[in-house]
Amino acid sequence: MASFLNSSIGKKFLMSLSGLFLITFLLVHLVVNSMILFDPSGALFNNVAHFMGTNPIIRVVEPVLAIGFILHILYACILTLKNQWVRPVGYDKQHSGNSSTWASRNMFVLGALILIFLVIHISNFFWKIKFTGSELLDNGGVNGVENVYLLVTTLFINWWWIDIVYVIGTVVLGLHLTHAFWSAFQTLGLSDNRWRKRLVIAGWVYTILVAGGFALIPLWVKISSMIN
Amino acid sequence: MDLTLKVWRQENRKAKGRFETYSLKNISPDSSFLEMLDVLNEQLVNGNNEPVVFDHDCREGICGTCSLFINGRAHGPDEDITTCQLHMRKFKDGDTIVIEPWRAGGFPVIKDLMVDRSAFDQILQAGGFISVNTGSARDGNNILIPKHKADESMDAAACIGCGACVATCKNSSAMLFLASKVSHLALLPQGRPEAVRRAKAMVAKMDELGFGSCTNTGACEVECPKGISVAHIARLNREFLIANLKP
């Protein structure tokens, strides 16, 4: 096991598994958040958020998710550092554009930007809900259900630049995902010439759905508040 | 054609290299890239200068000896060819051409444009073989192999070990080379008995020799002169994971 994890493919195996786990998480996260769009009163979103916060299965998965993030970030750093180090003298001239996509060459940079966004995002919502609390959460909450809807919409309505940060965050996430999806399967050995095409298309569908969906929410909240 | 060449010159492994600029006149567009370098070397020798050292052998695209990173691309600006198959008609009169050696920690420069690719031999020695009894030749079709498997195995076996994959990869990863060597044996029944040992030993050797890890950018298959697909890398990953699951 130790020799497996010390090998380059073993480390990539962990990147791939943790990545697929995060890909699954994003989809669940989007389904929960999309409740904001379907019920302007916020009751639906609050109930679902309350369920996610109290359900025992989700509570167990929560630390696993944190471990998934940490593993993905840690191994990305280890692999990227080594990959930087193995070419002591670089090229004077290199045309990378015609042989690979920009996103595939810059996964670490995109990942680092996503990490910055993640810190902002967690401090905006998760941290307040879980630890520090907020007046907005208690405002209009019924039967112990916190008013997460009010916390989210207040932020998106009051600060337009927060909306922009969120849209940029989802674009960066989307670029990361365009390469991540197929790449994860390739590393696990679950690809060949036929499946590669299918997985790349599935990756694009997933990316547009998830990145587009997450970008839509702050825009929707902001624009609908301006119309009303 | 008149050309300006920016060529990497380096005395030896330890020396610090630099670019030298040379002018060439009246180069035929029908000459090959290596012939153009031959003309340059003749010019240098006639002027009592040291010729540029570069690798070449068969000059028909099958030996994998020629290398060169030309204007930012492995084997130059054409698809599916080696440098010896590149012709000067791919360039324009008055062009400046930048010529660099393969750059990777696993391929140290020996002199000028020549690099040491013996790391590939070491990877092959670690497991890129099958053990068979020698003696009289076996009957043909002794072991039946499905056509599609034989074809796929041959596609992988087309690898000439030139190192363009390593040179192109942003991580200097040797995964496409390794994948083609593992794949062409793994697909055949003769390669199965040693499959577990082979995958483990060859990956360990590749890691030890200081090549980077694959990030699936796919640049290697685009620059591979034999058009070997990264699907073989998926097979290598599969072989390696299965090898590690077995006791």
- Where exactly are the structural domains of chain B? 3-110, 118-132+142-245
Burial (CB < 10 A; 0-12, 13-18, 19+), residue A76, is: buried
CB contacts < 8 Å between A and B, how many? 135
Beta-sheet strands, E only, within A52-207 = none
Q: Which residues in A lie closer than 8 A to residue B123 (C-beta atoms)? A: none
Q: What pLDDT is stored for residue A145 in this prediction? A: 81
Q: What is the pLDDT of residues B5-51, one digit of tens each?
A: 999 999 999 999 999 999 999 999 999 999 999 999 999 999 999 99
Q: What pLDDT is stored for residue B149 in this prediction? A: 96
The closest of B52, B35, B49, B33 to B97, measured between CA atoms, is B33
Nearest to B222 among A99, A187, A190 (CB): A99
Strands B69-70 and B96-100, bridge-based pairing: antiparallel
Instruction: Determine contact: A85 vs chain B, CB below 8 A.
Output: yes
In chain A, whose CA is at the least distance from the CA of B168? A96
| Identity of the residue numbered A64 | V
Q: What pLDDT is stored for residue B137 in this prediction? A: 82
Instruction: Determine contact: B177 vs chain A, CB below 8 A.
Output: no
Q: Is the pLDDT of residue B171 over 80?
A: yes
Per the prediction, chain B carries an average pLDDT of 95
In this structure, CATH architecture of domain B3-110: Roll (3.10)
Which superfamily does CATH assign the domain made up of B118-132+142-245 to? Answer: Alpha-helical ferredoxin (1.10.1060.10)
Note whether B123 and B209 are within 8 A (CB). yes
Per the prediction, chain A carries an average pLDDT of 92
Q: Which residues in B lie closer than 8 A to residue A89 (C-beta atoms)? A: 17, 103
Among A96-105, A125-134, B145-154, B155-164, which stretch is predicted with the lowest mean pLDDT?
Answer: A125-134
Say whether B133 sits in a helix, a strand or coil: coil
Question: What is the spatial distance between Cα B8 and Cα A48, in angstroms, rounded to a whole number?
Answer: 64
Q: What is the pLDDT of residues B77-94, one digit of tens each?
A: 999 999 999 999 999 999
Q: What pLDDT is stored for residue A142 in this prediction? A: 65
Q: How many CA atoms lie within 13 A of A150 on its CB side?
A: 13
Q: What is the pLDDT of residues B189-226, one digit of tens each?
A: 999 999 999 999 999 999 999 899 999 999 999 999 99
How does B201-218 read in b/e, with b if 16+ C-beta sit within 10 Å?
Answer: bbbbbbbebbbbbbbbbb
CB contact set of B17 (below 8 Å; sequence gap of 6+): A89, B8, B9, B10, B11, B109
Q: A93–B100: do the CB atoms touch at under 8 Å?
A: yes
Note whether A103 and A176 are within 8 A (CB). yes
- Where exactly are the structural domains of chain A? 11-78+102-227
A141/B38: higher pLDDT? B38
Mean pLDDT of A136-149: 77
Say whether A139 sits in a helix, a strand or coil: coil
Question: What is the spatial distance between Cα B140 and Cα B143, in angstroms, rounded to a whole number?
Answer: 8
Q: How many CA atoms lie within 13 A of B162 on its CB side?
A: 37
Q: Is the pLDDT of residue A41 over 90?
A: no
Instruction: Determine contact: A2 vs chain B, CB below 8 A.
Output: no
Cα distance from N-terminal residue to C-terminal residue, chain A: 59
Nearest to B212 among A86, A95, A192 (CB): A86
Q: Is the pLDDT of residue A9 over 80?
A: yes
Question: What is the spatial distance between Cα B113 and Cα B37, in angstroms, rounded to a whole number?
Answer: 11
Mean pLDDT of B156-168: 97
- Same topology between domain B3-110 and domain B118-132+142-245: no
Residue B243 binned pLDDT confidence (cut-offs 50, 70, 90): very high
Q: A8–B206: do the CB atoms touch at under 8 Å?
A: yes
Question: What is the spatial distance between Cα B60 and Cα A76, in angstroms, rounded to a whole number?
Answer: 41
- Confidence check on the interface: ipTM exceeds 0.90, yes or no: yes
Mean pLDDT of B215-239: 97
Q: Nearest-CA distance from B222 to chain A in Å? A: 6
